[in-house]
């Protein structure tokens, strides 16, 4: 009965009926947001050819839905579109699909492959397998946002070289993830991609990585070592914030900025070498790094925020006389050593001549 459907401009905005088997009228091109949200009566839905978009939460929470066809005209599947459809076992993603939203099939019985992956257009959108050691299939080019989010079963993941992008929050909160193997070919890591992976200890990123987005490895409490090999890297803020076990970091040559809160509250970080390509150090970049001792700041640095090194109680900054770093230390009353540009020896902040080679420092 058409009275059971609220339709506007070929968009089904709401289903009002009580039937267990629902046949969507011809001419509908979109199933709107929340159209069947938490409908516990429907068991089967037949979509007509011509449907292009399945909106956000369109069938979310339809706990008794067991059968639904996606015609080969569907291009867009919205966020959480089939979330918690735990009885839906027959769903197949057609080749026409271009976009799949976040958590579209979260806690949905299908469309998983035999290994538990939800895949479309060579992109992994979810994983519901039982293996603890997961290998991403070779033909995958991207891991979508939140694809593994909150999966506390996996302990290791191997990401092969065809994957160029790891999406936002892809592995957020994978609390038992201990090992991640990245491969050459990876180009970008999304915001919060590995946030709160509290058992992850070592990160080694290949040279191909050119972009790491905000908070990608923040709150990884067990992370001890980071090796970034790329010579052309763009970092966003908060990348390693609150990595309280982080002891050593290798930053790549070519890095131009250490953004705000990059190493915020990394309490065990004892040393970091700032590349000569860096020109700015952002607000709270090293806030609370209480184990940080000698840090050499090159002359390339032309801007240091007043709070870049707040609460670094053991810090001594090493730089050349009258440099931006030197002036920063005077202004903020930080411990300072003058680097001799002739022999690279460190000298007391009051020195005029290098104690080793006699070179004039000031």
Distance CA 316, CA 289 (A): 12
Strand order in the sheet with 156-158: 133-135, 156-158, 179-181
The pLDDT score that the predictor gives to residue 362 is 62
| pLDDT category of residue 236 using cuts at 50, 70 and 90 | very high
- Assess whether pLDDT exceeds 60 at residue 45: yes
Distance CA 244, CA 223 (A): 8
Distance CA 297, CA 39 (A): 61
Write the pLDDT tens digit of every residue in 71-93. 999 999 999 999 999 899 888 89
The pLDDT score that the predictor gives to residue 338 is 73
| pLDDT category of residue 359 using cuts at 50, 70 and 90 | low
Distance CA 320, CA 94 (A): 63
- Assess whether pLDDT exceeds 70 at residue 176: yes
Which residue has better confidence, 53 or 319?
Answer: 53
Q: Which CATH architecture has domain 117-252?
A: Alpha-Beta Horseshoe (3.80)
Q: What is the mean pLDDT of the chain?
A: 91
> Whole-model pTM?
0.87
Quote the DSSP letter at residue 88.
-
Cα first-last separation, the chain: 89
Average pLDDT over residues 244-252: 92
Q: Which of 93-102, 104-113, 303-312, 344-353 has the lowest mean pLDDT?
A: 344-353
The pLDDT score that the predictor gives to residue 156 is 97
Domain ranges of the chain: 1-111, 117-252
Write the pLDDT tens digit of every residue in 318-353. 888 888 998 998 888 888 777 656 556 666 665 655
Q: What topology is assigned to 1-111 in CATH? A: 3.80.10
The pLDDT score that the predictor gives to residue 355 is 60
Average pLDDT over residues 15-21: 94
Average pLDDT over residues 124-151: 93
The pLDDT score that the predictor gives to residue 112 is 84
**Residue 180 CB-half CA count within 13 A:** 28
DSSP assignment of 209-270, as one string? Answer: --EE-TTTTTT-TT--EEEE--SS-EE-TTTTTT-TT--EEEPPTT--EE-TTTTTT-TT--
- Helix or strand or coil: residue 281? strand
Q: Which of 89-98, 203-212, 273-282 has the lowest mean pLDDT?
A: 89-98
Alpha helix ranges (H) inside the chain: 324-332
Closest CA to 186 of 168, 159, 204, 148: 159
The pLDDT score that the predictor gives to residue 358 is 65
Domains 1-111 and 117-252 share a fold: yes
The pLDDT score that the predictor gives to residue 180 is 97
């Amino acid at each position: 009965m058409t009275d059971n459907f609220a339709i506007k401009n070929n968009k089904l905005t709401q289903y009002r009926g009580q039937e267990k088997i629902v046949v969507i009228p011809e001419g509908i091109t979109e199933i709107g947001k929340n159209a069947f949200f938490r409908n516990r009566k429907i068991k089967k839905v037949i979509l007509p050819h011509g449907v292009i978009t399945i909106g956000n939460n369109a069938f979310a929470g339809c706990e008794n839905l067991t059968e639904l066809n996606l015609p080969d005209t569907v291009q867009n599947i919205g966020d959480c579109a089939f979330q918690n459809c735990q009885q839906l076992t027959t769903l197949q993603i057609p080749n026409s699909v271009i976009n799949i939203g976040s958590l579209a099939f979260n806690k949905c019985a299908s469309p998983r492959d035999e290994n538990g992956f939800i895949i479309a257009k060579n992109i992994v959108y979810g994983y519901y397998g039982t293996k603890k050691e997961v290998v991403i299939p070779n033909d995958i080019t991207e891991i979508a946002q939140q694809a593994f989010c909150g999966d506390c079963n996996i302990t290791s993941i191997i990401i092969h070289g065809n994957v160029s992008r790891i999406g936002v929050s892809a592995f957020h909160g994978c609390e038992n993830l201990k090992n991640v193997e990245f491969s050459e070919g990876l180009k970008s890591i999304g915001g919060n991609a590995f946030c709160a992976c509290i058992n992850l200890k070592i990160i080694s990123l290949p040279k191909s990585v050119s972009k790491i987005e905000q908070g990608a490895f923040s709150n990884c409490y067990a992370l001890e070592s980071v090796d970034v090999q790329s010579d052309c890297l763009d970092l966003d803020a908060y990348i390693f914030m609150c990595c309280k076990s982080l002891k050593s970091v290798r930053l790549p040559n070519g890095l131009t900025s250490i953004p705000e809160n990059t190493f915020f509250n990394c309490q065990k970080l004892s040393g970091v070498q700032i590349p000569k390509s860096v020109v700015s150090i952002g607000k709270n970049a090293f806030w609370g790094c209480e184990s940080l001792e000698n840090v050499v700041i090159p002359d390339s640095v032309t801007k240091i925020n007043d709070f870049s090194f707040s609460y670094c109680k053991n810090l001594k900054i090493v730089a050349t006389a009258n440099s931006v770093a030197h002036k920063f230390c005077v202004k903020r009353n930080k411990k300072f050593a003058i680097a001799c540009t002739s022999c690279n020896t460190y000298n007391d902040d009051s020195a005029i001549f290098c104690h080793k080679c006699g070179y004039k420092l000031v």
